Amino acid sequence: MWLNLFIICTLGFLAAGVDAIAGGGGLISLPALLMVGVPPHLALGTNKFAASMASLNSSVAFARSGKVQFSLVKWQIPFTFIGASLGVWAVLGVSSAFLNKAVLILILLVGIYTLLHKNLGMENKFEGLNSINIAVGCLLALALGFYDGFFGPGTGSFLIFSLITIFGFDFVVASANSKVLNFVSNFTSLLLFAWNGKILLYYGIPMALFMVLGSLIGTKLAINYGAELVKPIFVTMSLLVAAKLIYQAL
């Protein structure tokens, strides 16, 4: 019991720190729960509980630093909620096999494209909002909210990459805004898991505490060191998500 708690809290701390910087923390936190013998459906629910607490903490810290573009996310939050709700319901009756292959290709392209374009996301080139980029941003929130509720791996990477591409944010601002939207989709999924009793609180609560601490440290590192820190970690986590999906496919 104590060894299991040590494993999930240590890896949860690491996962939240990485996730706060560049996304991809689920690559570490979910396997940690499976490693100690938690059944998959309970591991998913418990991970959502802990990850939601961590992403809330990151969202608040980024907001206090002034990195969150509230004039944009206020439009995106309702669409993220709707998308995540639809995604959770859809996964009950639709196979994720096709989506698994599509995501593998997409996230590989995201990682490679970011690696090759050395100036991508290194400067904040945001020039303001208009009806067109708000509409595109809301469609993005709907689609990625649905994806997170339906499947999940790489959501943070897709959000960060899309926010940089559409709005010209740098990696830090994109990461800040992605954490707010990711919290909304995580929390929406969490509600369904909680409703169905799929959360182990004796693992979830201590894991959440360590993940909140990890997210606090990760957020401070991202804010203090900027895109020079965030970009390489983003590329690394994108390629690791792809590697995990390849391993699962084989």
Per-residue pLDDT tens for 157-206?
A: 888 888 999 998 988 899 899 999 989 988 988 888 788 788 899 999 99
Domain boundary assignment for the chain? 2-249
Percentage of the chain beyond pLDDT 70 is 88
Rounded-to-5 percentages of helix, strand, coil across the chain: 80, 0, 20
Cβ neighbours, 10 Å, residue 99: 15
- Categorize the per-residue pLDDT at 150 as very low, low, confident or very high, splitting at 50, 70 and 90: confident
Check residues 219 and 106 and name the one with the higher pLDDT. 219
Is the full-model pTM beyond 0.85? Answer: no
> What residue type is 217 in one-letter code?
I
> What is the pLDDT averaged over residues 224-245?
79
What does the pLDDT look like over 11-40, one tens digit per residue? Answer: 999 988 888 887 778 778 888 888 888 887
214, 17 Cβ separation under 8 angstroms: yes
> What is the pLDDT averaged over residues 209-233?
88
